[in-house]
Amino acid sequence: MSYATERETTEGRVFTVTGGDWDELVSAVDPITEGRIVVNMGPQHPSTHGVLRIILELEGETVREARTVVGYLHTGIEKNLEYRNWVQGSTFVTRMDYLAPIFNETAYSLAVEKLLGIEEQITERATTIRVLMMELNRISSHLVWLATTGMELGALSMMLYGFREREYILDIFEMVTGLRMNHAYVRPGGVAQDVPDEAIVKIREFLAMMPKRLKEYEDLLSGQPIWLERTKNVAVLDVTACLAMGVTGPVLRSAGLAWDLRKTMPYCGYETYEFDVPTHSDGDVWGRYLVRLAEIRESMKLVEQALDRLRPGPVMVADRKIAWPAQLAIGVDGMGNSLEHVAKIMGQSMESLIHHFKLVTEGFRVPPGQVYVGIEAPRGELGVHAVSDGGTRPYRVHYREPSFVNLQALPAMAEGGLIADVIAGGASLDPVMGGCDR
């Protein structure tokens, strides 16, 4: 990355970052004699699912070369984790892929629990709640994909309907966690608090409503000639190309390979649930659309099974030197703990007060070691590589983020096709740049 000459301002010396080899790339092309032109798609959000920049070399309407440029949304979350204790990490990782926050939190918590060696101590109710929340989150994520992709390909009504149903799920999340997004709900040792009865009622209402809505989506899109023209045989990526580039999730399954970590490498008790892994054989945008619709239906089956399995019990491990305080009572000002809750903690015993104070201020210690945990997120394999040096903070946490890995397939899908199909192909990957630029 090159830099422009610095300049003095009222805020001090400022350096402006320029566009890498952009100038060299443009100067090498003479559009008058060669018939080629280099254009920038982004880094604003022109149907690129986030702050993504795509440099396209065009010959007429045909894409001859495509480059993806990431990093515009970088938050430094992985580095920040090294300066917070293990529980505080949940507050950071939930903001990576902001459409799949529950998955970020669960993968992180599973990694910390593996380092602690407490996998068997996680309560049945906490594990069931994790599955319940993840599958609701998978549905909401796929609804955003369906809504935004519909808008980008001209089906504007789908944008309204997809977000309408997603709002219903966000209302459920707010009832359970207190927040619509960025929950920090799944934590090492369990979950922050139990699922209230009113949320169970609302989830069952959603399950009763959603099949009819899915049928409406299919009536709107599946037989629509323009939708078929924009999706069938567009941005094809076969199973060999997917495996060569590490592409996972619905994109891989739309190419015919039924690879789903919930089945192949089960976690959170998924091996005890009944569900199918939808696949398609064409490996195009149409196949990815059908796979995601089918996955919404399978997630609904999983949510219903999880609801039926919810049994009374604790939602956090019993070890009070690890268990972050759950069921906190909020003060009347809406901030901090209520005085009654503080009095309850202080009135138990001096030892419990000391443990509570050390847990909240310093955090628990995690034995030295390193682990890798992978789960099936809405966009593919979401993996966490966590390293501990025996302290109260992570030595290193790195995410194997499917948006980042899958984006490298965009040039393979776009080159040789039309510029309009860059939008369809990029959208069908469903990248979320918050996860890519973590």
Strand partners of residue 39: 56
Residue 306 located in a structural domain: yes
For residue 330, what pLDDT is reported? 55
- Are residues 96 and 23 part of one domain? no
For residue 417, what pLDDT is reported? 86
Residue 346 located in a structural domain: no
At 178-202, the pLDDT tens digits run: 888 888 899 998 898 889 899 999 9
Q: Which residue reads 């507050």 in tokens?
A: 91
Residue 13 located in a structural domain: yes
- Are residues 189 and 137 part of one domain? yes
Is residue 371 predicted with pLDDT exceeding 50? yes
Is residue 233 predicted with pLDDT exceeding 60? yes
Percent with pLDDT over 70 in the chain = 85
Residue 415: pLDDT band with limits 50, 70, 90: confident
- Are residues 226 and 110 part of one domain? yes
Number of domains in the chain: 2
State residue 79 phi and psi, 5-degree precision. -70, -40
- Are residues 235 and 196 part of one domain? yes
Average pLDDT, stretch 309-338? 71
Residue 238 located in a structural domain: yes
- Are residues 106 and 53 part of one domain? no
Question: Which of these three, 69, 85, 103, is where a domain ends?
Answer: 69
Residues 6+ apart with CB under 8 A from 190: 122, 123, 126, 314, 315, 316, 317, 323, 326
- Are residues 85 and 48 part of one domain? no
- Are residues 132 and 110 part of one domain? yes
- Are residues 204 and 59 part of one domain? no
For residue 44, what pLDDT is reported? 67
Task: Centre a 10 Å sphere on the Cβ of residue 344 and count the other Cβ atoms it contains.
Answer: 12
Residue 174 located in a structural domain: yes
Residue 3: pLDDT band with limits 50, 70, 90: very low
- Are residues 107 and 83 part of one domain? yes
- Are residues 40 and 91 part of one domain? no
Residues 6+ apart with CB under 8 A from 424: 149, 152, 153, 230, 231, 234, 235, 285
For residue 137, what pLDDT is reported? 95
Say which range, 22-26, 138-142, 205-209, 366-370, has the weakest mean pLDDT. Answer: 22-26
- CA dist 316 and 328 (Å) reads 13
At 307-319, the pLDDT tens digits run: 999 998 888 888 7
Cα→Cα distances 379→150, 394, 406, 438, Å: 18, 26, 8, 15
Please tell me which residue, 403 or 355, carries the higher pLDDT value.
403
Please tell me which residue, 32 or 151, carries the higher pLDDT value.
151
For residue 19, what pLDDT is reported? 57
For residue 331, what pLDDT is reported? 54
Bond into 325 cis (ω within 30): no
Question: Which of these three, 29, 51, 69, is where a domain ends?
Answer: 69
Q: Rounded mean pLDDT of the chain?
A: 85
Say which range, 226-240, 335-349, 419-433, has the weakest mean pLDDT. Answer: 335-349
Say which range, 45-49, 86-90, 248-252, 368-372, has the weakest mean pLDDT. Answer: 45-49
Residue 134 located in a structural domain: yes
Residue 165 located in a structural domain: yes
Is residue 47 predicted with pLDDT exceeding 60? no
- Are residues 112 and 12 part of one domain? no
- Are residues 134 and 29 part of one domain? no
Question: Which of these three, 49, 69, 89, is where a domain ends?
Answer: 69
CATH of the domain at 307: 1.10.645.10
Residue 351 located in a structural domain: no
Is residue 1 predicted with pLDDT exceeding 50? no
Residue 416: pLDDT band with limits 50, 70, 90: confident
What range does the domain containing 192 cover? Answer: 77-319+364-436
Average pLDDT, stretch 61-77? 86
For residue 334, what pLDDT is reported? 54
Is residue 321 predicted with pLDDT exceeding 80? no
Average pLDDT, stretch 145-174? 91
